[in-house]
Structure 1
């Protein structure tokens, strides 16, 4: 088992939220005996208090149980507290329980709107309506005890001092879904309330390997940079951050040993877009083509800093609109190819069609040397590192969906 990182102050796992007319009071009820948090419903200001205010006929609170504070959003005038009202345990990550957010609720702190100009009220109403999107967000996961934003290797490599920091300070900002929403709580030094949340997927199951039982964890962490919906968000921004970037990790624990293998996916790293219209497949447009090499270089420099060597596997078609994008991708990386940066094109549809996924062995033969050289993380029963992963495979198709999924599974 890995050594558990115990932060200096643990997160509250269960709380009671009192809805008074002029304030929300969040009271820890998990036996930690911590201070309660008062949040003004007028302006969203926060303070710690020792006791929950007394109730009266005038101050009759509505009471509900919450399982975490996701953060606070400030709009034009009002502020909005977001909390987890339902959760579900979905498995374990390196021995720690992992929960899925089943329900989020938004609690408005907007009484100051009463004295606001009409135009501000109108804009605030429009913006606050968009917060329903937050309540409906799916694929949110969290842990009270470990940092879900970090891969097993990054967790293992944390220094002793870092392991004592609150979980939010250990977190990888790229995968911290509520990074922005936590800022107000950070400013108020509310560490026990600061719950890191990731967006992606999490699967935990047991599998038989011969006579042994292995615990298998699959986790995907979605990057918070360059977010957007399919077709509307493509390519990279000028800083090299790409759309649909996801880190995927497979962890296997058996007989006290722990292995971890990380892959990444993301849109093609140059400026391109798709003008959405009524056609089934809108045309692809390359934007500022002269900038492509610079943007690609920044993207791969960032990947090398974070993962080591990089092997880019491009799965798009060789012909048509996809072919133009593939050619631009290949041309953009020519000046940065080296022992640490490789590019491989594999026309998935041409080779595998829709059913012959066994032909991915052709791709595997082309990249097996990279996989063997850069390896995977392996920890023994004492949590000591026996092997480490020193490079990553970066896979893309157009949407980083079906073709990428199949290829990553086979890799």
Structure 2
């Protein structure tokens, strides 16, 4: 079997927010702040790539660690589930805690345990009372779904294909990012990753997640 190429950034990420505490980014926070960005920084040794998300224009760009403001508040995350537009605007969905469930051909398989849904907006004052209530309802529905057991991911192995399929692929296939080569039928967060999928240079930050049951037994 051919070895799987490293197709996404491994390990942990750091979410940095310019001039704002993470507490001020919770949904429905009324505090007004000046426009800033999310910075997603990989913790891989030697990695310099940083994903910058403009919280006003929603634009996603690739930058470097030197561009992250020193005043940015740091918070560790395990990966990006994707983005979603609700009534109030765009939201960033991240994995905040993971648990190792086993190893597949030497590749660690992780179970996503906790998530956070972070609003791009700092306030919902632009919403009417009805819109605000609808937004709260949608957020509650999303959080209920995320508490469902069975979200798994691997940063350096494709969980969406069978071993037989992976053993009979071309070198070009092996060089693709995990997002590009994944069988979209089994990528639970495929729609959430559409913004990242549209920009190939950002694929390294996209984390395909499958939903189901993965069990490891000792032989």
Per-residue deviation, 1:118: 4.4
Give the Cα–Cα distance (whole angstroms) in 2 for the partners of residues 70 and 137 of structure 1.
15
Relative distance call for 1:186 and 1:129 in structure 2 (3 A) is same
**Gap regions ≥5 residues in structure 1:** 56-60, 208-411
Which residue in 1 is equivalent to 2:119? 108
Separation (CA, whole Å) in 1 of partners of 2:8 and 2:183: 19
Residue by residue over 1:64-122, the C-alpha shift from the partner in whole angstroms, topping out at 9 and shown as x without a partner, is 21111111111234111111111111111233111111211111113474334444333
Which of residues 88, 92, 98 in structure 2 aligns to 1:81? Answer: 92
Q: Which residue number corresponds to residue 123 of structure 1?
A: 134
Which whole-Å CA distance do the structure 2 matches of 1:145 and 1:12 have between them? 7
1:121-140 superposed Cα distances (whole Å, 9 cap, x missing partner): 33223222222124313211
After the TM superposition, which residues 151-300 of structure 1 pair with which residues of structure 2 at under 5 Å, given as runs? 151-189=162-200, 190-207=202-219
The answer on 1:53 being equivalent to 2:69 is: yes
User: 107, 114, 118: which one pairs with 1:96?
Assistant: 107
The number of aligned residues is 200
Helix, strand or coil at the partner of 2:193? helix
Q: Helix, strand or coil: the match of 1:204?
A: coil
Secondary structure, counterpart of 1:181 in structure 2: coil
Gaps of 5+ in 2: 21-35
1:359 is aligned to: none
1:47-70 Cα shifts (integer Å, max 9, x gaps): 222221121xxxxx5422111111
CA RMSD of aligned residues (A): 2.1
TM-score normalised per structure 1 = 0.45
Higher relative contact order (CA 8 A, sep 6+): 2
The SS at the match of 1:80 is strand
- Give distance in 2, aligned partners of 1:23 and 1:78: 15
Q: Give the counterpart of 1:18 among 12, 16, 32.
A: 16
Q: Note if contact 2:10-2:156 (Cα within 8 Å) is conserved in structure 1.
A: no
Aligned to 2:43: 29
SS at match of 2:204: helix
- Higher relative helix content: 1
Residues 102 and 110, structure 2, Cα contact 8 Å, conserved in 1 = yes
Q: How far apart are the structure 2 equivalents of 1:99 and 1:24?
A: 25
- Whether contact under 8 Å (2:9, 2:44) holds in the other structure is no
Correspondence for 1:284: none
Deviations 1:311-332 (A, max 9, x none): xxxxxxxxxxxxxxxxxxxxxx
Alpha-carbon shift at residue 200 of structure 1 (Å): 0.9
- Compute the TM-score of the two structures, normalised by the length of structure 2: 0.82
CA contact (8 A) 1:78 1:124 kept: no
